[in-house]
Amino acid sequence: MIVEDGDLYGDGVNIAARIEALADAGGVFVSNTVHDHVRDRLPFVFEDLGEQHVKNIARPVRVYRVRDSRAAAKSPPAPAPPVRPLADKPSIAVMPFANMSGDPQQEYFADGIVEEIITALSRVRWLFVIARNSSFTYKGQAIAVKQVGRELGVRYVLEGSVRKAGVRVRITAQLIDTMNGAHVWADRFDGALVDVFDHEDRVASSVVGVIEPALQAAETIRSAGRPTNDLTAYDLYLRAYAMLWSSARQSLEALRLMEQAIERDPHYGPALAWAAYCRYRLLVDDPSEHRGANALKGADFAWRALEVAADDPGVLVNAAQALAYFGEDIGAMMALADRALALNPNFARGWLVSGTLRLWAGQPDIAIEHAEASLRLSPRVRIGTSLLVIGAAHFASRRFGEAVPKLLLAIQEDPGFPLAYRVLAACYAHMGRLQKGQEIVERLRAITSVVIHDASFLRNVEQRELYLSGLRLAAGEAT
């Protein structure tokens, strides 16, 4: 910024003229430079509006609203906006994104991105999403997220900016906890504007696909800090969920907490569906442990979950996965996963479960496609075993060389999951690398006593025999 003949310029543009364009009718706005020179000399009240992005100015400018101190003293203070209580489930407001393009005509694009994100987030059933007409009342204002949280009654705020230049666009976004101002997640998305509306949809899908597991993780951490004598069904569910995805998985303890949540609320669909999933995981981790009882109890939880699921995608896919493993019709379970994805196409875990079911149904190529969609939507936060599904699908298609690196990564991601070791051992055996297969079996025996297990969840007979014959070979058992 430079000064010429008493005027302040930025990139050759008069800043005062640009700032006045932000002011309300009859109002006066000034920059930080003017404020510092006159604040003690004139009878004005200066209201700090924070940093504002001004057309054709590269850097943000700190802006103040100017009011006559004498008039301000006579007029009563404006009443503070009411503080709204938080919703009874995780709540979020998507604020208008800042247009950083230096072109007011590009506002429509920034607003379109926000509208797409709000629409996509509204499909997440466990979220309370503030409507666009409420969050857009803050458009053009510099306001603290804590104030937004109080006035709208939300725990989380998503804010961001759009910078469009020629045929390129960069969207940045950050998710903030309004209770403490902490950043939960932040990222940026770059792309070419070949088709504006298609890009809006793709960015919204990417943002929402990442936000959902990030919010789930944030809620889980928040619940962990609550005293144990003040736990609700929701808190019990969150604590159990954290145990399922920790590096030291505790499926049995997670099941105990889910069952406590169900005792408090017998119609709590998410807890019922995850309890069914816990029973499924107990069978996968140690198939010798009460197989019949686990399957019966797990199926009961799953059917009860579906009775209360309505159109909750998370309940639908978790119940479907458990029931498919317990032997229910695989086609019907894939239909449930399809329904979940129709309700929320940005549901990362939904794509993963759909891929898992396709693998079990003997459709490895579709399984890979769906698991990769899950990874694109949630590349950082763990929501399951996408790499295992991809590796196992390559194995089922006899693409052993492509399967091995995916399975090795799956084991690295989740060292306590026996199925990845079993598929990898079978893969090595069929490649003629028997010693490597035997080494994997030894690692498998360190986490479970069961090497050869019931593989009836694999509906394709040829693919099931390929898996079991390789596993027997690696384990040194007669085929």
**pLDDT for position 152:** 86
Under 8 Å between Cβ of 418 and 475 = no
Q: Is the same domain home to 363 and 450?
A: yes
Task: Report the distance separating Cα 79 and Cα 74, nearest Å.
Answer: 15
Residue 119 lies in a domain: yes
CATH code, domain carrying 402 = 1.25.40.10
Counting the structural domains of the chain, the total is 4
Q: Is the same domain home to 217 and 200?
A: yes
φ and ψ at 363, to 5 degrees?
Answer: -120, 70
Residue 160 lies in a domain: yes
Using the 3D structure, point to which of 285, 315, 343 is the last residue of a domain.
343
CATH code, domain carrying 32 = 3.30.70.1230
Residue 84 lies in a domain: no
DSSP H/E element including 63: strand 61-68
CATH code, domain carrying 129 = 3.40.50.10610
CB count within 10 Å of CB 270 equals: 23
Q: Which residues contact 137 (CB under 8 A, 6 or more apart)?
A: none
Task: Report the distance separating Cα 213 and Cα 221, nearest Å.
Answer: 12
Angle between helices 313-325 and 269-285 (to 10 degrees): 30
Using the 3D structure, point to which of 20, 43, 74 is the last residue of a domain.
74
Q: Is the same domain home to 336 and 352?
A: no
Cα 286–chain centre separation: 30
Residue 85 lies in a domain: no
Q: Is the same domain home to 314 and 332?
A: yes
Q: Is the same domain home to 193 and 233?
A: no
Q: Is the same domain home to 316 and 269?
A: yes
Task: Report the distance separating Cα 34 and Cα 25, nearest Å.
Answer: 20
CB count within 10 Å of CB 477 equals: 11
Q: Is the same domain home to 379 and 411?
A: yes
Q: Is the same domain home to 213 and 272?
A: no
Using the 3D structure, point to which of 311, 326, 343 is the last residue of a domain.
343
Q: Is the same domain home to 61 and 105?
A: no
Position 192, amino acid = A
Residue 371 lies in a domain: yes
Task: Report the distance separating Cα 246 and Cα 414, nearest Å.
Answer: 9
Residue 289 lies in a domain: yes
Q: Is the same domain home to 11 and 96?
A: no
| pTM (whole model) above 0.75 | no
Residue 82 lies in a domain: no
**pLDDT for position 339:** 95
Q: Is the same domain home to 120 and 198?
A: yes
Tell me the two tokens of residue 52. 């504002």
Under 8 Å between Cβ of 309 and 316 = yes
**pLDDT for position 9:** 44
Total residues belonging to the chain: 479
Q: Is the same domain home to 210 and 275?
A: no
Q: Domain range for residue 301?
A: 226-343
Task: Please report how many Cα atoms fall inside a 13 Å half-sphere around the Cα of residue 225, on the Cβ side.
Answer: 4
**pLDDT for position 202:** 72
Sequential pLDDT tens for the chain (479 residues)? 444 444 444 443 456 655 655 555 445 666 666 656 655 565 666 666 656 655 555 566 676 666 655 554 455 555 555 666 666 678 888 999 888 877 776 777 788 888 888 888 888 878 888 888 788 888 888 788 888 888 888 888 999 888 877 777 788 888 898 888 888 888 887 777 666 556 677 777 778 877 787 787 777 777 666 665 556 888 888 888 888 876 556 888 889 999 999 999 899 999 999 999 999 988 887 765 567 888 899 999 999 999 998 788 999 999 999 999 999 999 999 999 999 999 888 888 999 999 999 999 999 999 999 999 988 877 655 667 899 999 999 999 999 999 999 999 999 988 888 999 999 999 999 999 999 999 999 999 998 888 998 899 999 999 999 999 999 999 987 54
Residue 390 lies in a domain: yes
